[in-house]
Amino acid sequence: MITTKSEREIECMRHAGLIVALAREAVASAIRPGVTTKQLDSIAEKVIRSHGATPSFKGYNGFPAAICTSINNVLVHGIPDHTVLKDGDIISIDLGACYQGYHGDSAWTYAVGEVSDEAKKLMQVTKESLFAGLRQAKPGNRLGDISHAIGEYAESFGYSLPLDYTGHGIGTHLHEEPPIPNVGTPGKGIVLKEGMTLAIEPMVHVGKPFTRVLNDDWTVVTKDGSLAAHYEHTILITKDGYEILTINREDTQSIYG
């Protein structure tokens, strides 16, 4: 079932989104060569809990950490551990917070030290594809308009988008209906309505769109070993467009990273 949220529910989601943004900023400022992904996880969990929220991912289907840390050819769901970040890596941080029963979910890809031009371009295009999708988020448009805008933008640079991982509705559950693919046909799919809350999240590969899951049953890597990037915001469909919920309004930089 696709739900629309009441004003009270939206306030909880704004608050959850702010906590996600604060945790994302804290992690971002700690990313540098020499830090471990487990250290980043601890920072995020501390920020989330210090604001009276719980990490949405911890325990979700048995996931063992507060954040996903996905390095280089890891697309999503990397598990924080003692891996040390190196100069030239890129790392996608995906994190969620639950405040008074409502979730926020956001992901961002960061450069560790100085990265290759290929990595910089992938990150830039993936981030821009998120905003290309968001520009289609308004009442009366259809879900396929968002999906198409994301996919068409990223593919115009020769990149690919895996079909097996999608965005999603979000609210009292981290993942709600509808799934939101990153490729699609304009004019198709459900009609967007004011009050819907959606997590839009392009995942983009430099190489082919195929993925595989490692033996830990979580870590998703690109099958051809190519670099991958991931950007995500939780949004609210408003009367005439959208509002990003996973931002810190005091720091507008956090909208664009």
Site residues, Mg ion (CB under 5 A)? 94, 105, 107, 199, 232
Nearer to Mg ion, 94 or 176 (CB): 94
Given the complex with Mg ion, which of 89 and 94 has the nearer CB atom? 94
CB of 36 to Mg ion, least distance (A): 21
Q: How far apart are CA 131 and CA 188, in angstroms?
A: 20
3-state DSSP of 172-183: CCCCEEEEECCC
- Helix/strand/coil (H/E/C) assignment for every residue in 134-145: HCCCCCCCEHHH
Query: Toward Mg ion, which CB reaches closer, 153 or 165?
Result: 165
Using CB atoms within 10 Å of the CB of residue 198, give its burial: 0 to 12 exposed, 13 to 18 middle, 19+ buried.
buried
Cα 179 to its chain centre, rounded Å, is: 14
Closest approach, Cβ 34 to Mg ion, in A, equals 26
Residue 105 C-beta: closest distance to Mg ion, Å: 4
CB of 227 to Mg ion, least distance (A): 19
Closest by CA to 28, choosing from 46, 40, 42, 16, is 40
- Residue 198 phi, psi (nearest 5): -135, 145
Task: Report the nearest approach of Mg ion to the CB of residue 165 (Å).
Answer: 9
Q: Which is nearer to Mg ion, 12 or 34 (CB)?
A: 12
26 vs 239, beta carbon nearer Mg ion: 26
Angle at 96 between CA 94 and CA 84, to 5 degrees: 40
CB atoms within 10 A of CB 192: 20
- Tell me the closest approach of the beta carbon of residue 167 to Mg ion, in angstroms: 6
Nearer to Mg ion, 117 or 256 (CB): 256
